[in-house]
Amino acid sequence: MPAAPSLRTTIAIVTLLAAVPRLAASLYTPSMPSLSAEFGASMGEVKLTFTAYIAGLAIGQILYGPISDSVGRKPVLLIGLALFSLLSLACMFAPGIEWLAVGRFLQACCAAAGGVLSRAIVRDLFGPERTARAFAFVAMATTLSPALGPLLGGQLQDIGGWQTAFGMLAIVGLGLLTWVSLRLPETRPRLAGSPASVKDIAHAFARLLRSPPFVAYTLSGAGHVSAVLCFFASAPFLLIDVVGITPSAYGYYSCVGVAGYFIGNFLATRTSGRSQIDPTIRIGAGIAVIGSAALLILALMAPISVMSIMLPFAVMSCGSGMALPNCLAGSTNRYPQIAGTSSALSSFLQMAASTAATLLLALAGNHSAVPLGLFLLALSLLSLIAGLALKRWPEK
């Protein structure tokens, strides 16, 4: 009988589970401009494949948490990863932009299992006192996935075109499926009951939505997540089509912005105790407002350049990297008995907001950075306002 996996191995698996949805979102972004030529599609239609993925994440995440609270984390993960791998192959062979959008939606529905359940597993393992710190370490590691996505995706585009990105995702999904099957233990608390009915799930959702702190944590997190995803939906067109850099160069430059997020995550590991969750959210949101305001000012006053886009985004990302792990920890700590349900509802609302934001941004055009700057500033202000509202409901 094999030895039980170490906590370090479990955390490594959880980190990869959290990274896969973000890797799948960003890996093909350097190929987005080329999809216009490949399928004869407009920029807006290509952006809709990104929006479809975010919508799929929203739908998928509302389901996995409650189900995993009832039947366990591991079975749900295995099914989700298996279907994610198959749908990645389906996207690889999509015959048109409409089919690709459908494939991306379904792929995201399955990828959501890793994103939701990685957070629930962290809450299962660490409890309320260490959850924020654990989230920060996992988030700091998964920060590499948005950087790795465009960086690797640019090289894959140069080597074999957009299809190679989806082939790579299928391989990643199969490898993680094997590792979860062999090495991940079941972490659901034993006190969890029998499978929840639809009525039970609805009552749990209603309970969470009636909690002002839960809503505030979720809105603050939604602002940060939406801002980052809006950036990755627009930046490839601004930098590749307007500025004129290559897809592989875009991959390298994207690391500048993601470095800011990594720094923010690192700072969160230094400040995140249970009593510091809310103050860290407010500080991070304030930094994000400064970065997004700088991007908008530069867009209004100067021609588009790589640095006028990436450097303000790095500042905004630093703030998001500080705040987001604490938003996640705060929303799950309030209701530890239904951590999976809490994680699912919070993630659904964040992805729903991101879907709306990226859809509206897709309608604003891609020849100026002003719409992007306006969206990022508005979303960062939402995060700050929600963080300030938490002062009314301090955690006891």
CATH code for position 214 = 1.20.1250.20
pLDDT of residue 2: 46
Instruction: Give the other-Cβ count within 10 Å of 95's Cβ.
Output: 8
What are the tens digits of pLDDT across the range 218-271? 999 999 999 998 998 889 889 988 888 998 899 888 888 888 988 888 888 776
Instruction: Give the other-Cβ count within 10 Å of 4's Cβ.
Output: 10
Question: Domain span at residue 45?
Answer: 7-392
pLDDT of residue 197: 67
Which pTM does this prediction carry? 0.82
Domain-located, residue 370: yes
pLDDT of residue 182: 87
Domain-located, residue 1: no
Domain-located, residue 218: yes
Tell me how far apart the alpha carbons of residues 259 and 285 are, in angstroms, rounded to a whole number.
Answer: 17
pLDDT of residue 1: 39
- DSSP, residue by residue, 290-338: HHHHHHHHHHHHS---HHHHHHHHHHHHHHHHHHHHHHHHHHHHT-GGG
pLDDT of residue 205: 86
Domain-located, residue 2: no
pLDDT of residue 340: 65
Domain-located, residue 372: yes
Instruction: Give the other-Cβ count within 10 Å of 391's Cβ.
Output: 11
Domain-located, residue 26: yes
Q: Show the low-confidence residues of the chain (pLDDT under 70).
A: 1-7, 127-144, 146-147, 189-197, 271-275, 339-340, 365-366, 395-396
pLDDT of residue 132: 62
pLDDT of residue 66: 74
pLDDT of residue 368: 84
* Domains contained in the chain, number: 1
pLDDT of residue 194: 54
Phi, psi of 13 (to 5 degrees): -65, -45
pLDDT of residue 367: 75
Tell me how far apart the alpha carbons of residues 382 and 321 are, in angstroms, rounded to a whole number.
Answer: 16
Contact at 8 Å (CB) between 353 and 222? yes
Domain-located, residue 188: yes
Tell me how far apart the alpha carbons of residues 27 and 150 are, in angstroms, rounded to a whole number.
Answer: 5
